[in-house]
Amino acid sequence: MTREYLKKSVGLPPLEKQETGKIVSAMLARITAEGEEAVRAFSRELDGWQGDIIVGPDALAAAAARLPPEVKDDIRYAHGNIRAFAEAQRGSVQEFECELRPGLFTGQRVIPMKAAGCYVPGGRYSHVASALMSITTAKVAGVSDITACSPPRPGQGIPDAILFAMHLAGADRVWALGGVQAVAAMSGGLFGAMPADILVGPGNQFVAEAKRQLFGPVGIDMFAGPTDSLILADDTADAEMVALDLIGQAEHGHNSPVWLATTHRPLAEEVLRLIPGFIASLPEPNKSAAHQAWSALGEVIICSDREDMAQVADEYAPEHLHVQAADLPWWLARLQAYGSLFLGQETTVPFGDKASGPNHVLPTSRAARYTGGLSVHKFLKTVTWQRVETEALPDLARVSAAISRLEGMEGHARSAEIRLAKCL
């Protein structure tokens, strides 16, 4: 099968190399040595924040009171969908016990983590939905102690809508804190929090690097990079919708690739014609971000048939995969590598980003080849247990001892065999 690129990524221009890893490592070392005082210092220096880090009940109530009722209703609508989907996910994970052989009992338990740290980005955009996605999901999973933080804006703090969403979703405490210092404080259990068992939520390259360096002693949701999106479209697709969907995702930032794979050349050509005008109509800074992303990283691919389009999707393993083509059941059954799948032209990625229910914290940079997105499963430990009764001992001890000696592990063999002498 041959493919033709009407537009191909040229990559981003060379940037001055930032030694992100070294910067983060130095910050983490200072916070480990100096604790809360270092966190406060970084907050003043990097975020320009002079106010309290801990957001108390009165501040949360005041933020809610300032919001228009319709804004709170919209956030409640999204929260209801996100919570209901998370509850359905939680219900799909079951504990069980089974007797594999007479006297050999095994089982599975599902145990929620005790403490989670949820990072909510707050740079160019106010990520209300990110607060709902991470905190609600942790709450439904059964996490008993949830710390939520977001970067404060100088002179303002955390935007009211994010504070309302954090409180509605069930955060046990809220911090006006961003960046590496926030991740380190949640991991270390500063400011009265329990040390986090897992750190979740998207962030900039410094937040991502801090999570990477802390991973091991603490769990993380995933190593996240810039958001990406792929549309698969045939001759039934609407060019205007496709073009707007591509640009809507490109506005995330200059390094957010968007791709179109189609079997219909006229659609591809019309999308290419429409996109510059759609970009020009955006406000700043969205316009600049979308222009840079589309110019450098956007792709339009002509495929020979729908199987070829599906292979493109499997190769790119996009964070968001949107099918605007006929025979949606075929696509649902065929596609194998994506963070979240959006089926049909009535659907759009922003529905999933904001309010439809499934989580929007998703694998990027082809990580969808081996992992899914944030879910209740990330906050649960699926652990196993076993119990052996006399009836199972002869064969189980004999085979375990034999395999142990085959591997050269005599101590293991003797541990198995003594049960035959002592317990029968």
Could you list the active site residues? Answer: 319-320
Name the nearest CA neighbour of 255 among 12, 43, 5, 7.
12
3-state secondary structure of 197: coil
Residue 74 burial (CB count, 10 A) = 16
CA separation for the pair 3, 255 (Å, rounded): 24
The residues, ordered by sequence, that sit 6+ positions from 187 with a Cβ below 8 Å of its Cβ are: 117, 195, 196, 199, 214, 217, 218
C-alpha pair distances (Å), 90 with each of 80, 84, 169: 15, 10, 16
Q: Exposure of 168 by Cβ count < 10 A (0-12 exposed, 13-18 middle, 19+ buried)?
A: buried
Strands 229-233 and 320-324: parallel
Backbone angles phi, psi at 411, to 5 degrees: -60, -40
Answer for the pair 178, 151: CB distance below 8 angstroms, yes or no: yes
Sign of CA dihedral 67, 70, 76, 78: negative
Give the CA diameter of the chain.
Answer: 83
Answer for the pair 238, 264: CB distance below 8 angstroms, yes or no: no
Backbone angles phi, psi at 167, to 5 degrees: -70, -45
- DSSP, res 236: T
287: number of CA atoms within 13 Å, CB side? 9
